[in-house]
Structure 1
Amino acid sequence: MPVLRHEALEFEARGGASFGRASIEGRRTLEKIDGPGQLIHVIYAATYQEAMQAHYDRLGWGQYKPMPGVTDRPYDQDELERQLVEYPADAELRRLNGLAT
């Protein structure tokens, strides 16, 4: 089961933050809306639910309430391949997926 990169971003324009599976296009879209963002932290996980719980734990928010059948599905190899192309310098992403760095 692939492990993917998730990013917490902070945006000055709205004084808020965003968290989700990392993608270059996703970040570009958010920055079109909210202006430049700053990377706050990265979490690696095999499902969105796992990533959200780690994010909640990091922020001290308690238990994440998942959406069954949506957030608990494992990621697939195609999703990992996209991230490997978009984040070629992410040695941790490669290591966690058993790939040479």
Structure 2
Amino acid sequence: MPQPALTLARLSEALGLPEQSLLALVVNCDAAPDPTLVALTVEEAARRLGVGRTTMYALVASGEVPSVTIGRLRRVPAEALKEYVAGRTQAASSTAALAA
């Protein structure tokens, strides 16, 4: 027996939410990272930097971006990303100054 299609209207009715509110939740679910996190997964850190997962793992493995082990988990301190970007910005500006 085929299941009836689950439409946005039926889902919003089942959840007791207006359709527009449900649609806003779905559209904005990945919009902003949680600013309260102190330590991020490697995937979350990659997303914040705007790089791929493989690139982020390479940065962590090389030590360019520091990470910590918590139990069996690898985490990247959120502050380490800011320091990494600041260091890359300084390196880029000093290289540009030498070229001029």
TM range (shorter): under 0.3
Q: Which has the higher strand share?
A: 1
Larger radius of gyration: 2
Q: Which has the higher helix share?
A: 2
Output the TM-score relative to the length of structure 1.
Answer: 0.24
Which protein has greater RCO, CA pairs closer than 8 Å, 6+ apart?
Answer: 1
Output the TM-score relative to the length of structure 2.
Answer: 0.24
